[in-house]
Amino acid sequence: MRTVKLSTVVDDVLAQAGMVLAAVASPDAMKAQVVSFVNRRLREAWEHDTWAELCPTERRWYRPIWDAATTYAEGAEVYYGSDAVADTVAELALDDGVWFLVWADTEGAAGYFSPNSDDMPAAGESPATHPDKWVRLVSMRRYVALDQPGKTEIGEVYRVTFRDPRLRPSNAGRIGFTLSTEGIVPEECAGHSVWVSFRIRPYVFTAADYANNAKVLPYVLSSFVIGAAYADLLRGDDRHEEAGRARADAYNQLYAAADIAGATQEQFTTATAQTY
C-alpha cells in the first residue's frame, strides 16, 4: 500500500495555514489539535468507500492457529493444520441435489483441538506430534473473532465465502452470517474455515506518533485528510467562510479519489450465446 507519513500530513495541514510547527507558540498543543483533526477526517474517508488497499480478503479459522511458542492453558481451543487441507462435499439431506462444503473426514491431524486436562501439552507439543495431549473438538461454537491473535483486526464485514473470491469471483459460494459479541457466526453449512472480506479498522494516532516515521496514512486518502483537517483548523479560528471553501475542496478530492479507485478496478464481462 502506498503511504504518507503522519508527520508529513500534519506539516501539510499547517503549511496550508501558513504555519510551521516549530514556529508556533505552543507546538505540542498545536500538534495534538491537528492530529485529532486528522483522526476524525481519516475515519470519515476510510469508511467512505471500499478502498482496495483497506478491504482485504483473508482465510480465517474459528479459533487461533496453534503456535509452537505458546503454552496453552486448560480449556484453550486452537486450530492445527495446513492451508492445504482440502474440504470435502456432502449432499444436504433435506434438498436433493444440493451440495455444500463440510469438514473433511480425511483431515488427519488437522482440525480443532483443546489441551488434554489429564496430560497438558508443553510449548511446541502439537496435536500431530503428541496426539495423546490433545482432544479433538467434535462439537463447538463456530465463529471468527474480530481480533484473532496474529491476524488483521476486522472492522466492517462485507462477505463470507467458501472459497477465495479473488480467484473464483463467480463461484466463491457466499455464506450467510450474523455478527455477535463473539464475532462472525457463519451458517451451519460453512466448512472448517471461511474466507472473509472486510474493512480494516481505521488507524488512530496520538500526538506522540508525529515523531514516529512508521506511523503512516494511506496515500489515497491523504489529500482529503489534509484539506479537511485544514478546514477544521480554520473553523477553530472562526474563519468559517474560508473553512467552507476548504471543506468543499477536500470533498472534491475525496470523490475524485473514489472515482479513480473505482475505475482501476473496472472489469467487464460480456455475455455470449451459442447459436445454431
How many angstroms separate the CA atoms of 165 and 171, rounded? 8
Q: For position 247, what pLDDT does the model report?
A: 95
75, three cell numbers: 480449556
Task: Over range 227-247, report the average pLDDT.
Answer: 94
The set of residues, in sequence order, having a beta carbon less than 8 Å from that of 227 and lying 6+ positions away, is 16, 246, 247, 249, 250, 253
How many angstroms separate the CA atoms of 240 and 237, rounded? 8
Task: Over range 131-141, report the average pLDDT.
Answer: 91
pLDDT band at 109 (very low <50, low <70, confident <90, very high): low
The set of residues, in sequence order, having a beta carbon less than 8 Å from that of 103 and lying 6+ positions away, is 87, 88, 111, 191, 192
Q: For position 266, what pLDDT does the model report?
A: 53
Place of cell 495423546: 132
The set of residues, in sequence order, having a beta carbon less than 8 Å from that of 213 and lying 6+ positions away, is 5, 7
pLDDT band at 139 (very low <50, low <70, confident <90, very high): confident
How many angstroms separate the CA atoms of 222 and 254, rounded? 9
How many angstroms separate the CA atoms of 95 and 189, rounded? 13
Task: Over range 86-93, report the average pLDDT.
Answer: 41
Radius of gyration of the chain (CA): 25
Cβ proximity of 101 and 191 under 8 Å: yes
How many angstroms separate the CA atoms of 42 and 219, rounded? 11
pLDDT band at 13 (very low <50, low <70, confident <90, very high): very high
Q: Rounded to two decimals, what is the model's pTM?
A: 0.79
- Identify residue 8 by its one-letter amino acid code: T
Task: Over range 195-201, report the average pLDDT.
Answer: 96
Task: Over range 165-193, report the average pLDDT.
Answer: 92
Mean pLDDT value across the chain: 87
Domain ranges of the chain: 3-47+203-264, 55-201
Task: Over range 164-178, report the average pLDDT.
Answer: 92
